[in-house]
Amino acid sequence: EIVLTQSPATLSLSPGESATLSCRASQSVSSSLAWYQQKPGQAPSLLIYDSTTRAPGIPGRFSGDGSGTDFTLTITNLEPEDFAVYHCQQRGRWPLTFGGGTAVEMK
Amino acid sequence: VQLLESGGASIQAGGSLRLSCEASGFTFASYAINWVRQAPGRGLEWVAEISGTGSSTYYAGSVEGRFTISRDNFKKTVFLQMDSLRAEDTAVYYCAKSLTTEWLGGYFDYWGQGTLVTVSS
């Protein structure tokens, strides 16, 4: 199965700063990668799919990039509601797999 | 769109449990539905997917042969039958709707609130 490795495990930032999250796949998944946001006690919500496409209603400060094995989620001008855990997920090959998550915490 | 899971419980290892996911607000039979779980303090793990018609199913290796996904399109409900439960199956189980009708094995645009399964050894 394809293993997704997210880094860093935790990112400590202040509101207004930018966050850069990484997701690396053990094999190429082409552009078949999504990012989800999960807040404590809540289900995940879809942010980005197909590496770069924002889901409906997602603000422009969230952007995705990458293809093959290396992917990035960038959040510019962090808002207080952006502090959460972010998961990547691939649909390039069965079984579908998720990364271990990156927590963006407030400094 | 709403997805509502039920059926979570505390159970002994080796036992069985059936989870349900009742859907509303979309053309249910057109979309694949997935189960995704999250062990306490851990990341997400995809468990199983069933196509809109129910004719195709897919499983994670960790549950294949023990879990069975099925659906009743008249009742707009997806089920996850879990047999031979193990302590490592302890998790919140979410059902999630596929983003698109165009392919299987996709992304998940709507999630339920989750139901907790606790397996004691």
A6-51 confidence digits (pLDDT tens)? 999 999 999 999 999 999 999 999 999 999 999 999 999 999 999 9
Q: How far is A101 from chain B (nearest CA, A)?
A: 6
Which of B34, B105, B113 lies nearest to residue A43, judging by beta carbons?
B113
- Interface check B4 vs A, CB under 8 A: no
pLDDT tens digit sequence for B64-108: 999 999 999 999 999 999 999 999 999 999 999 999 998 888 899
- Interface check B65 vs A, CB under 8 A: no
- Interface check A3 vs B, CB under 8 A: no
pLDDT tens digit sequence for B100-112: 998 888 899 999 9
Contacts of A35 in chain B (CB under 8 A): none
Mean pLDDT calculated for residue range B36-42 = 97
The answer for B63, left when phi > 0, alpha when psi is -120 to 50, beta otherwise, is: alpha
Which of A46, A55, A98 lies nearest to residue B46, judging by beta carbons?
A98
Kindly give, in sequence order, each residue whose CB lies less than 8 Å from that of residue B69, ignoring residues fewer than 6 positions away: B35, B48, B49, B50, B57, B59, B78, B79, B80, B81
